[in-house]
Amino acid sequence: MSNPRAQNAPMKNRIKTVGAAEREQLITTFGNARLVRLADGSTALRGGRLQDQTSAKEWVSLFMHEAVPRFQK
């Protein structure tokens, strides 16, 4: 082996932990409605009144037209 110290280094674990599935990233808010990106890459619209959700749908259609958010309460 040309570099035995590097060859015996511990293996890097690239598998995400179980807790990582619960993480989400806030994209923006519309009143009380929150548009979030989930760990699997999908988007979700959570909470808010009907007016807040309508504003969020309009914003998504203009600026994130490739996204199809799930609606959750």
DSSP track, 18-51: GGGGG-EEEEEEETTEEEEEETTS-EEEES--HH
- Encode pLDDT of 6-58 as tens digits: 566 565 555 555 554 568 899 999 999 999 999 888 999 999 999 999 999 99
Residue 27 resides in a domain: yes
Q: In this predicted structure, what is the pLDDT of residue 11?
A: 57
The answer to the question of residue 5 being in a domain is: no
Rounded-to-integer distance, Cα 67 and Cα 49, Å: 21
Q: Which structural domain, as residue segments, surrounds residue 57?
A: 22-72
**Apex 64 CA angle, 41 and 55, nearest 5:** 115
Count how many domains the chain has: 1
Distance between start and end Cα atoms, the chain: 58
In a domain, 37, yes or no: yes
Q: Is residue 15 part of a domain?
A: no
Q: Is residue 68 part of a domain?
A: yes
Considering the domain boundaries, does residue 10 fall inside one?
Answer: no
pLDDT score at 66: 86
- 8 within a domain of the structure (yes/no): no
Residue 15's pLDDT is what? 55
What pLDDT shows up at residue 61? 92
Token match 């909470």: residue? 47
